[in-house]
Structure 1
């Protein structure tokens, strides 16, 4: 057991060095002074049953300053009052154009199809894809355009403040970000020599030429992780990409409760592991061994096992704290819940795996997508 923990400690030291270098490369655009831009930005969002948030999202977009913009909202088969709210806003504000989708064509996810339809009527040379539950500060788009031009980037994606109310939900979100960090290494988006790409659905700004060149949403039509898939395609095609944070300028309540988070992760937890049962099982066992076991072995009767367990725990706390500091606004004290959040994450992943397998696919936005077609689309986009 000692040698297992020793190898783990070496692994975490390597990850720590990567985290330190990586987070240094991710800049914040919250406090930059934007230049006034005459570029027209087409803001495109898809909304399905978003009556609780859609009006505040649209209104925060309408208050953007120092930028020319149009908003294209796509009502994706909503069964609540989302369509009526959007129609009322569209009648009042000429910057807002509304598209209603009644039927979803075969072979598309609702969101990817909705966004692709929004692009078709867009007029801007820049496209900003976002979600229907985001709050935007008044100058965030102009800041992003200014930064993007200064960096000569074709694509910019920004990490928002992920608001959460309960400790358990904050823990699950922060642990997900921690795991995402060492598995996907998001900062590689800022390294021109690295093919690693990144895309965050809350804020994806790109030139229209870049979007069209990589095939747009048509190439990722059945990807539940469409934001990440689009960002990866952009980077692989050789375009310049930047990942930034905007914790003061963008905010979203990712999920209102822990139960809704568990349901939400059903659609993309398995997708993030390439729809591989083996990878999912390895991920769950890996988390238990590397991030729960050291806490248990801290109570071992063997002194050297206790010491190496303590070393692993210190490294884990440091890594978790770095993630929390750079990607959230949560209290640093949340790190003490790491082993419990790790077990919660394992439960979430196992639940998503079982439900996806039993259902033979995923349920999302009122539609069912088979595992077979999801796997095939994943394979096609990875090989292209």
Structure 2
């Protein structure tokens, strides 16, 4: 498949180059204008027009070659996306085996979650699985979160309320809170989820059965992601479009691939495995701790699996944070760990997400000129833009379950994402803190 695509793009490139060579071999072609279809006479002004036309054609054909490469990459990304959609396993589709029903401890860190914590607990108290407890840890909330948790604990024996002690220096709030909950856990299996997540009635039963039937060490479930902030949703829709080639369940579940991560809204594993990967203490200063915990499990050769469960779990993302704060949470720590990689991601994002739309606008202004290079450039940029629209719309409608309009706003989403990455990189270079959940955290350079 890949070799055929490369052969096709090489052939198209040769055609474009050969055409450009023919054009440069016939100077009179460059001397035509819309106003004067006759060749310009060989005078100083004519030479200038010839030179400008030659430079313009060289530029257009060079851009066309770049767009052909981008077209090839988007074809590959679309193939990876639809392969991921078609082939990724689901939480509720597996061959069930007989197993015992070990006790599960559900650990929920909560900070300023008064709007969502009730829905989360209601969904967990309606589970068909019997042998479980729910430990909810209030992380110094400034709203009514702790009061709500205490009320649930008073009325339901399965709910255990904990107020986290003062966070020690060097710890992220969520990581410290998870450790506080872990210390009180009595279950053989640990299920970590977020306070803004709503679960179906069979989620614990399915997760335990899937984990044990498939003889897994860890299981993580991709939820339906609900992003209330429209700007954040548009930006992350475009980010997700480019992630299928590397971060899809197909890649995570392949033992030969190095990449591993947990979805922070839902992952379940045994106490033994959790201890082996270092618990949350091993990622105490990390702001994207769930990804790193999953990577540790993969590095230690534990059998882990990522499955789709967007029809079973609904998870919030970003909360009331701005799009810049949400992107900073990902970009800043990633940049501090891998400066060259994240810098490359910024330029790659610009090239693959925004560049085709910019060239489409540029070429459309001159598409009716006598220069064929503009028409070729317009056609290729139109194809590239169409491929991006397909990817963005599929991501929005099928995986994010949002409106098709989110996909049609791909140019705006691409702009938000690129500016967000740039903002995060610049923040990482000059600032020493990051704001998340109404709390500031020091920025730690992983290379120092």
User: CA 1:67/1:178 → structure 2, altered by over 3 Å: closer, same or farther?
Assistant: farther
- What is residue 289 of structure 2 aligned with on the other side? 226
How many angstroms does 1:374 deviate by?
Answer: 4.9
How many angstroms does 1:95 deviate by?
Answer: 0.8
SS at match of 1:66: coil
Q: Which stretch of the first structure deviates more once superposed, 341-350 or 17-26?
A: 17-26
Q: What is the CA–CA distance in structure 2 between the aligned matches of 1:82 and 1:334, rounded to whole Å?
A: 32
Give the total of aligned pairs: 375
Q: How does 1:28-39 map to 2 (within 5 A)?
A: 28-29=90-91, 38-39=101-102
SS at match of 1:157: strand
Which of 136, 146, 164 is the matching residue for 1:83? 146
User: CA 1:270/1:183 → structure 2, altered by over 3 Å: closer, same or farther?
Assistant: farther
Q: What is the CA–CA distance in structure 1 between the aligned matches of 2:85 and 2:284, rounded to whole Å?
A: 31
| Correspondence 1:121 to 2:184 | yes
Determine if contact 2:325/2:436 at 8 Å carries over to the other structure: no
SS at match of 1:268: helix
Gaps of 5+ in 1: 380-384
Cα RMSD after superposing both structures: 2.5
Determine if contact 1:160/1:202 at 8 Å carries over to the other structure: yes
- What is residue 108 of structure 1 aligned with on the other side? 171
Q: Which has the larger radius of gyration?
A: 2
SS at match of 1:267: helix
How many angstroms does 1:118 deviate by?
Answer: 1.2
How many angstroms does 1:41 deviate by?
Answer: 0.8
Q: What is the CA–CA distance in structure 1 between the aligned matches of 2:411 and 2:386, rounded to whole Å?
A: 13
User: CA 1:240/1:183 → structure 2, altered by over 3 Å: closer, same or farther?
Assistant: closer
Relative CO higher for 1 or 2, CA cutoff 8 Å, sep ≥ 6?
1
Q: What is the CA–CA distance in structure 1 between the aligned matches of 2:238 and 2:331, rounded to whole Å?
A: 13
Which of 348, 360, 365 is the matching residue for 1:286? 348
- What is residue 320 of structure 1 aligned with on the other side? 392
Determine if contact 2:393/2:408 at 8 Å carries over to the other structure: no
Q: How does 1:165-180 map to 2 (within 5 A)?
A: 165=228, 168-180=231-243
Which of 311, 321, 332 is the matching residue for 2:383? 311
How many angstroms does 1:196 deviate by?
Answer: 1.3
Q: What is the CA–CA distance in structure 2 between the aligned matches of 1:274 and 1:353, rounded to whole Å?
A: 9
Which of 303, 311, 317 is the matching residue for 1:254? 317
Q: What is the CA–CA distance in structure 2 between the aligned matches of 1:66 and 1:231, rounded to whole Å?
A: 25
Q: What is the CA–CA distance in structure 1 between the aligned matches of 2:319 and 2:139, rounded to whole Å?
A: 21
Q: What is the CA–CA distance in structure 2 between the aligned matches of 1:157 and 1:173, rounded to whole Å?
A: 20
How many angstroms does 1:239 deviate by?
Answer: 0.9
Q: How does 1:124-143 map to 2 (within 5 A)?
A: 124-143=187-206
- What is residue 45 of structure 1 aligned with on the other side? 108
Give TM-score scaled by structure 2 length: 0.77
| Correspondence 1:190 to 2:253 | yes
Q: What is the CA–CA distance in structure 1 between the aligned matches of 2:131 and 2:445, rounded to whole Å?
A: 38
Gaps of 5+ in 2: 1-62, 368-373
SS at match of 2:383: helix
| Correspondence 1:15 to 2:87 | no
- What is residue 382 of structure 1 aligned with on the other side? none
How many angstroms does 1:276 deviate by?
Answer: 4.5
Per-residue CA deviations over 1:224-253 (Å, capped at 9, x if unaligned) read: 111111111111110111111211211123
- What is residue 219 of structure 2 aligned with on the other side? 156
Determine if contact 2:179/2:279 at 8 Å carries over to the other structure: yes
Q: Which stretch of the first structure deviates more once superposed, 119-128 or 159-168?
A: 159-168
SS at match of 2:69: helix
| Correspondence 1:343 to 2:343 | no
SS at match of 2:104: strand
How many angstroms does 1:119 deviate by?
Answer: 1.3
